[in-house]
């Protein structure tokens, strides 16, 4: 990606382009990249000269680049909009300057606080998804109808249960909901929980695992419903599977196991890249 797209990419993951501020960070990062066989590529960082020509700063931390600590002798003549990329050669980190329009891979970072109190939710505006749908499908939803059970009730005008076709990651499913001006299902109250169980049983929704509108992005110990109010995912009606909810930072998206035989919802957390069906709703 170019450096602008790199920043957007990191932002989409609730991260920033990385800063390498100390010799310790440089040594640790160099070892990790080498261990993962990523020592032959260049990666964009947040290092930038804009607007100060010949003077570099890390934009993500607002700290000046410590050339001595990083053992980097930058060129004395650097353009006003040069960006810093890094690479690993012979187990040492090397810093380079380049124009932001050049395509490189990306190095993002996010410091996970041990005592974090706030998680985040996806905040897509969905304009891009709807526009793309209009251009590629001309608004024809017939192809999607075969993949969804269309229900209504429990205070919602639409409950679209994805039951066929290809499974999707959490992010991809979220975007597909956007196409129809819907969002992932959240089950905030016991009343809604009980109503949905009755509705699913009445309509014979198949047993399966579905993505829900719950997440703990950027703070794995704090689960929330990603609805219009960003409400905490708590309550006596919430039944977690054994060992859940996970506080593993690689498992930050909430799914539901629906059992048609026992008529139960059981919640768990998985890596957001996991492929599964999902449920969209319109209220």
Q: Which residue has the tokens 């066989």?
A: 37
276 CB contacts (<8 Å, ≥6 apart)?
167, 168, 173, 208, 209, 210, 211, 255, 270
The confidence score (pLDDT) of residue 56 equals: 83
Which domains, and CATH codes, for the chain?
3-109 (3.10.100.10), 127-282 (3.10.100.10)
CA angle 94, 96, 102 (to 5 degrees): 135
DSSP code of 206?
Answer: P
217 phi-psi bin (left φ>0, alpha ψ -120 to 50, beta other): beta
Q: What is the mean pLDDT of each run of 10 residues along the chain (283 residues)?
A: 86 81 89 86 85 73 83 66 77 82 89 72 69 60 73 94 91 85 92 97 96 91 83 92 93 96 97 95 89
The confidence score (pLDDT) of residue 202 equals: 96
The confidence score (pLDDT) of residue 193 equals: 97
Residue 253, both tokens: 């998206």
Determine the longest span between alpha carbons in the chain, in angstroms: 73
Spacing of C-alpha 59 from chain mean position:
22
Q: Which of 59, 58, 52 has its CA nearest to residue 81? A: 52
CA angle 276, 282, 283 (to 5 degrees): 135
- Give φ, ψ of 153 to 5 degrees: 140, 180
The confidence score (pLDDT) of residue 99 equals: 85
CA distance 70 to 61: 16
């Amino acid at each position: 990606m170019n450096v602008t797209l790199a920043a957007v990419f990191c932002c989409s993951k609730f991260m920033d382009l990385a800063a390498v501020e100390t010799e310790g960070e440089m040594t640790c990062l160099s070892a990790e990249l080498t261990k993962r066989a990523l020592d032959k590529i260049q990666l964009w960082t947040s290092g930038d000269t804009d607007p100060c020509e010949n003077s570099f700063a890390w934009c993500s931390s607002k700290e000046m680049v410590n050339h001595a600590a990083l053992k980097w002798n930058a060129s004395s003549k650097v353009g006003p909009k040069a960006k810093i990329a890094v690479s690993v050669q012979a187990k040492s980190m090397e810093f380079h300057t380049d124009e932001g329009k050049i395509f490189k891979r990306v190095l993002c970072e996010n410091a996970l606080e041990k005592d974090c109190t706030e998680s985040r939710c996806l905040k897509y505006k969905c304009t891009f998804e709807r526009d793309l749908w209009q251009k590629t499908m001309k608004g024809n939803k017939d192809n999607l109808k075969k993949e969804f059970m269309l229900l209504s009730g429990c205070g919602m005008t639409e409950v679209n249960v994805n039951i066929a076709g290809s499974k999707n990651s959490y992010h991809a499913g979220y975007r597909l909901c956007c196409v129809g001006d819907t969002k992932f299902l959240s089950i905030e109250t016991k009343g809604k929980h009980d109503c949905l169980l009755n509705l699913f049983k009445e309509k014979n929704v198949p047993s399966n695992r579905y993505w829900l509108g719950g997440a703990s992005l950027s703070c794995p110990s704090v689960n929330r419903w990603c609805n219009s109010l960003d409400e905490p995912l708590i309550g006596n009606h919430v039944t977690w599977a054994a060992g859940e909810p996970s506080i593993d930072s690689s498992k930050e998206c909430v799914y539901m196991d629906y059992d048609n035989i026992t008529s139960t919802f059981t919640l768990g957390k998985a890596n957001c890249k996991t492929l599964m069906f999902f449920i969209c709703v319109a209220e």
